[in-house]
Copies of this chain bind each other. A is one copy, B any other.
């Protein structure tokens, strides 16, 4: 007997028929002799409607009121799923964030989980009752509803799995698992049977949208074994687990991409200490997340250039913030490009195998794709390229690393 957390996203509970289908999946898991806690998102589309209403009234809405409004999406699905379970003879009850309670900090709309008082849930699980838990929400120290930010239901599920010491956390989604790359642009993409936490983390932060970065980091920290699988089929998914448990040893596990990047170069900065700090603290104060950073000083001048990448949606804010600092920073020009993609090759095998960067650069160069910025970590190599070449780059790299074949 195992204790399992099952998490179903918005598309899996998008209408009444799908909610009934989820109830069957939960029942099957329970009847296999497991204890089951289910975490659900709002019905697909419903949260968008709520967000839209709040924005229509005031784009700068009070985050506490916003949380009160948007948390209703999950409140509806937990009630409906509990009813659907009871109807097919499964003892079940819904739990809202404040009822558990799932305690968060006071950063409404982007709250962090501080603690989950899981005693009641564990008691009920041991009595055979299914706990149907509203994802994405908790209660803040002010006694009001908090939300974890968009996509926070994955994080809720992993945090709950850690709190109740679950044997596994199954993340049901609309794809069959984690793929070597996006099957929509590379038909030969192959579903991975397993992947390490570190690789998954790099995949998520490099643009693979199957799991939230935050939830993977939390699973890694708390040693929660994750499985990503489809709620529409019965095929096994992809296990995300510690490296030592990996059976499969690929050179490279996957190619991730993000086609919605932008690049900014601050040209002709005086080459002296503290300049980079000023730039990035100004951006941080404006809540802009900077991704890759490269500084290049020509040895024969007092000037230096700093290039960084960021989400395309934040480009305008970044340019405005930096333009305001032009005199203070004494730079010559600000060059930006909003048609940038980031391509990443990911694999823990990079630690021990050489030649991966070499192959990557050769493939791109052969296809005449210019690499504008390169950045590497222990298990990942990322490059920025013109967004027009995204598909070509992904397909060529997938072929070159033979990701459609199992080693």
* Contact assessment for B76 and A72 in the assembled complex, using a CB-CB cutoff below 8 Å: yes
CB pair A76–B58 under 8 Å, yes or no, is no
Asked whether, in the complex, the Cβ of A80 is within 8 Å of the Cβ of B94, the reply is no
Of B54, B56, B83, B84, the residue contacting A79 (CB under 8 A) is B54
Name A73's closest neighbour in chain B (CB-CB).
Answer: B72
The reply to whether the CB of A295 lies closer than 8 angstroms to some CB of chain B is no
Q: Is A83's CB under 8 angstroms from B57's CB?
A: yes
CB-nearest residue of chain B to A68: B79
The reply to whether B62 and A99 form a contact with Cβ atoms under 8 Å apart is no
Query: A5-52: which have CB < 8 Å to B?
Result: 16, 19-20, 50
Q: Is A75 a contact of B69 with CB atoms below 8 Å?
A: yes
CB atoms of B54 and A80 under 8 A apart: yes
Q: Please, how many angstroms separate the alpha-carbon atoms of A61 and B94 in the complex?
A: 13
User: In the complex the two chains form, is B68's CB within 8 Å of A94's CB?
Assistant: yes
- Residue from the list B54, B71, B84 in contact with A58, Cβ < 8 A: B84
Task: Give A301-336 as 1s and 0s: 1 = Cβ < 8 Å from B's Cβ atoms.
Answer: 000000000000000000000000000000000000
Q: Is the CB of B65 within 8 A of A79?
A: yes
Question: Which of A67, A76, A96 is most buried by chain B, counting CB atoms within 10 A of its CB?
Answer: A76
Please judge, given known A-B contacts A68-B78, A76-B69, whether A57 and B98 are in contact too, CB under 8 Å.
Answer: no
Contact of A75 among B54, B72, B84 (CB under 8 A): B72
List of B residues within 8 angstroms of A98 by Cβ: 98
> In the complex, which of the residues B58, B67, B84, B145 contacts A57, with contact meaning CB atoms closer than 8 Å?
B84
In Å, the complex CA distance between A87 and B79 comes to 32
